[in-house]
Chains A and B, each alone.
Chain A
């Protein structure tokens, strides 16, 4: 059960910096996902950890031992990538049994390890099949079994599901997590898919442009992201720009230094939203951005507290809920998702009130580079 540490890792390719000043500790037995948009440096990071590339600066430690300069095959790790190349002329069993044979384990141990690994990925009944007789998902599972059979306690999964169909991907991500936990492995999983990251990980490392943006549990990143990029990347979100107006209790009689219990944010066109969330030190007049998830907004035909008027631009059926796109009187467009079996209540063009429950709003300082730049996905 290995422990991992990346200390001040940087990697440059000519003028391009793929990773800059990365510090990260991963506990033994932890399932950590490295998430981020294409080109953010996530694959670079695991290639450095596995010894495929050497860092320009910094060091990697596995179980406290510095591994910088040590070749991949001596680092004792399993590496699974997007399209696992199985040996086409070998059966499922021979593929999985490959490492134990090469490593010259005794027959009994090799047999036991291979049986167990194939059982874990639920592919033992396919042991006599050749790769071409398997579906994409099955091939990937056999590839995982083969990596497990090598006996390493550290597993690196580099976009292991990206080549598979959406549905197969769903089933397989649960399987991978289950077997990693069952075998007590430490796993580092690279993906661009935020939902895959949330459903498999103990912790997520979110990266952007070669740097770590935020590291936390899936719940915290979704519900209490520390910055705006995280809020937008980890799930869909609404953002409304404004400025701190005053404190409701003091009714504007004296200036505030901090958002206390309840405060008022003035939006575009001088509308007001009440927030109930101490989110750091803000002064009256400070530019801020409010973030709220679509499922935390609701709509109504009648006027209600904490609401802004708007008009429905678009409505989309999502199965167990409806999604509305609403243009507010503040000129912001927001997504509202309501669990509603009856889709006839609200229609495109309807004038509605969108309710912003004060407790569900998070507030961030207005980013100096502009909101659009901070949220940019590509």
Chain B
């Protein structure tokens, strides 16, 4: 039942800083997800915890005990990467109990743990199959069973679902979380899929350029992002650039270059300072008539895309700005391509940030 503490962790590759004096406390039994764009340092962080790479400075401790340069096999850590690397000539059973057998455990104990793990991943009845005879999802579960057989208490998962069919992923992420919780493990799961992160995690940390830029529950990350980048990465957001021109009733007022005033959520920014405001596409409302008055703008539906539960709209406003709205499909039939519509932003949902140093466009870039 481990808790993991990282302090001042730094790892450089040549001139590139992959992990930049990072502090992180992972609680015992927590399911933590590391989210971030390609190259953020996500995999490097897992490799440092596993001992597959040595840090340049800083310390990792498990249950208060510094790991120092302890080799991977002594860290009680299971590492599952996106390519499962099962032994192709061995059957499911032999792959699963490889670790215990190599460690010379007695046969009875090996049989018990092997069976237990395979039953947990619903694969016991396929124990005689070779990896080549299994589907991708089954291979993934076989690799998971093998990792779990190592009797580790910390599970490190590097995009464990990436190689699987999209639909299968939806089922397996639920099973994965349940398994980790049932076994009382501490899990750190790396992904670049924000929906996966929302559904599977107790807590999400957002990594960018080797630094944690926000850490919080899925709700906190979604509803109270600390930067435009996170606002746009977890969910998707529409942005407006301008200056704060006043406050009223706890709402802010942001005025853009064209002089249009927007009522925003409250903020600490000084009047006169440059700012950007963003609203999630899920909270961007489309209406047939201008019912609200405030924060309502007319436009034309340029594109409508059915996604199943949701339908995405692209609306071009009169002044030329492009706005995206994600509506439940149950109400999407009211609006068609080419229709005149009103776009409404609820002030509470329009979150204000200081203008990013390098500009909004560069802030939102994914790579």
Contacts and interface: CB of A to CB of B under 8 A. Distances in A.
B5 interface: no
Contact of B166 (A194, A222, A318): A194
Contact of A319 (B138, B235, B308, B366): B235
Contacts of B280: 319-320
B198 A317 contact: yes
Contacts, number: 102
B170 A236 contact: yes
Q: Interface size bucket, B side?
A: 35 or more
B283 A38 contact: no
A320 B283 contact: yes
A196 B328 contact: no
Contacts of B326: 320
B171 interface: yes
Contacts of B236: 170
B330 A167 contact: no
B262 interface: no
Interface string B144-166: 00000000000000000000011
Contacts of B321: none
A279 to B, nearest CB: 20
B309 A337 contact: yes
A14 to B, nearest CB: 15
B222 interface: yes
Given A317-B222, A319-B198, A377 B166 contact: no
A186 B338 CA distance: 23
Find the residue from A165, A178, A319, A323 having the highest chain B CB count within 10 A.
A319
A70 to B, nearest CB: 33
A28 B305 CA distance: 21
A195 B308 contact: yes
A16 interface: no
Nearest to A320: B282
Interface string A176-205: 001000000000000011111011000000
Given A165-B38, A317-B218, A378 B138 contact: yes
A218 to B, nearest CB: 5
Interface string B224-243: 00000000011110000000
B318 to A, nearest CB: 22
B282 A319 contact: yes
B199 A318 contact: yes
B282 A167 contact: no
Contacts of A319: 198, 222, 234-235, 280, 282
Interface residues of A, number: 41
B314 to A, nearest CB: 8
A178 B322 CA distance: 16
Contacts of B283: 320
B138 A295 contact: no
Contact of B136 (A38, A136, A174, A293): A38
B37 interface: yes
Interface string B165-180: 1111011000000000
A189 B307 CA distance: 16
B366 A195 contact: no
B306 interface: yes
B136 A378 contact: yes
Find the residue from B165, B195, B199, B282 having the highest chain A CB count within 10 A.
B165
A316 interface: yes
A192 B303 CA distance: 24
Contact of B37 (A38, A165, A317): A165
Given A234-B308, A295-B330, A196 B366 contact: no
Given A136-B38, A199-B312, A233-B167, A167 B233 contact: yes
Contacts of A234: 308
Contacts of A323: 199
B137 to A, nearest CB: 5
A331 interface: no
B142 to A, nearest CB: 12
A196 B167 CA distance: 11
Interface string A117-136: 00000000000000000011
A235 B312 CA distance: 16
Contacts of B234: 319
30 contacts: A37-B135, A37-B165, A39-B135, A135-B38, A165-B37, A165-B38, A167-B233, A170-B236, A174-B303, A192-B166, A193-B166, A194-B167, A198-B307, A198-B308, A199-B306, A222-B306, A222-B308, A222-B329, A232-B167, A295-B328, A295-B330, A317-B217, A317-B219, A319-B280, A319-B282, A320-B283, A337-B309, A378-B135, A378-B137, A378-B138
Interface of B: 37-38, 135-138, 165-168, 170-171, 192-195, 198-199, 217-219, 222, 233-236, 280, 282-283, 303, 305-309, 312, 326, 328-330, 366-367
**8 A-B pairs with the lowest CB-CB distances in the bound complex, closest first:** A320-B282, A378-B135, A193-B166, A192-B165, A235-B308, A166-B193, A378-B137, A317-B218
Interface of A: 37-39, 135-136, 165-168, 170, 174, 178, 192-196, 198-199, 218-219, 222, 232-236, 293-295, 316-320, 323, 337, 339, 343, 377-378
Given A174-B305, A193-B165, A319-B222, 7 more contacts: A135-B38, A236-B170, A295-B330, A317-B222, A378-B135, A378-B137, A378-B138
